[in-house]
Amino acid sequence: MNFGFTVLDTSLVVIGERVMLGPNVHIYSAGHDTSVLSRVKCIEFGHPVRIEDDCWIGGNVTILAGVTIGRGCTVGAGSVVSRSLPPFSVALGSPAKVIKRLPTLEEELADPRNIYHRFPDRS
């Protein structure tokens, strides 16, 4: 976790293994209807949020209710994630949109040119 990390959790929030979070990341599993009466009656809903393994969430990112961020994703700083992201993708913006596909771990391990083969395994 990093400083300024906020989770508003009226529903399940799952953060996978080896997930990196920048500063001021906000996860909101709660929401409200646009109806004034729903606010008068204090009605709140919740949908699960999942961040799968090996993701990197940049600083000042907001993740909204019902979103799954697939394994190995990178989310650019300042993004608002309002829809689920497929595994091994890069997304950014408000709302966040996928701009690039990333290689899977298996693809990286199979690539002899990958510079990270030189580093020891820390897991």
Cα atoms in the 13 Å half-sphere on the side-chain side of 96: 30
pLDDT of residue 3: 95
pLDDT of residue 17: 97
pLDDT of residue 42: 87
Give all domains of the chain, ordered by start, each with its CATH number.
6-118 (2.160.10.10)
Instruction: Please give the average pLDDT of every successive group of 10 residues along the chain, which has 123 residues.
Output: 92 97 97 88 93 99 98 99 98 99 94 90 77
| pTM (2 d.p.) | 0.91
User: Is the separation of the CB atoms in 81 and 55 below 8 Å?
Assistant: no
pLDDT of residue 34: 87
Closest CA to 123 of 64, 28, 53, 52: 53
Which CA distances in Å does 36 have to 15, 29, 30, 31? Answer: 33, 20, 17, 14
Report percent pLDDT > 90 for the chain. 81
pLDDT of residue 122: 80
Helix ranges (DSSP H) in 3-65: 36-40
* Residue numbers annotated as active site: 32
